[in-house]
Amino acid sequence: MAESRIIHGFHAVTARIRQNADSVLEVYVDPQRKDPRARDLLKLAEANGVRIIQVDGKRLDGMAGSPRHQGVAARVNAAQKVQHLDDVLDTLTEPALLLVLDGVQDPHNLGACLRSADAFGVHAVIAPKDRAVGINATVEKVACGAAQTVPYITVTNLARTLRELQERDIWVIGMDGEAETNLYDVRHSGAAAWVLGAEGEGLRRLTRETCDQLVRIPMHGSVESLNVSVSTGVCLYEARRQRIVKQ
């Protein structure tokens, strides 16, 4: 029997059915949910031949690991489609735009980063296999479907992967609060990989040393730094803006 896992929340379950219905084994719905949102989800599941099981909210709490499931969960095939970085890069018809996350461990942050990556047209998100959260139910819920649309590629050696990107003429830009260069002074609309570090710790030393350029987000208020997911949104917005301006 294929290995499975539970995802929960309307966004995560709906997105999984729409994008990869064959991977959805069962949908679980609290019978107390009789609102239009629940009815639309049930119609979508039925139209795609997905088995629907009614379970009470208490059981859903246990399945989801929290009461924040919105009355819906699904059991999905846990097997992820294996994607190699070369498979992504070799099929691009525009300069690569990549997001590299150096050890993000909070699933809410990773989910938000994936959502921003989808919004700004990132071709792939790269992260180390170790010391990183990986894709789980919380990530999928926060990502609102982006966990299915943006390739998430894990690598054994992040610094080596960055060097391989450089060999492909992809400019590696690391975000560092102590960097001298201001984000808005960067002029780069070609192939680029934006590298952000873990919560609190920032980039690891070897990752920082491997980057072609280090930049910082200028801060004008009293706080010294931004959450990694917020920083990701700022950087990717600027990267996409410069590409549009160049056109």
Q: Which residues are documented as binding site for S-adenosyl-L-methionine?
A: 197, 217, 226
Q: Provide the edge-to-edge strand list for the sheet that holds 51-54.
A: 4-8, 72-77, 24-29, 51-54
CA–CA separation, 117 and 29 (whole Å): 30
Q: How far is CA 216 from CA 73, 97, 226, in A?
A: 40, 18, 11
Helix (H) or strand (E) holding 77: strand 72-77
Mark the binding-site residues, compressed into ranges.
197, 217, 226
Specify the amino acid at residue 22: D
Q: State the CB neighbour count (10 A cutoff) for residue 63.
A: 17
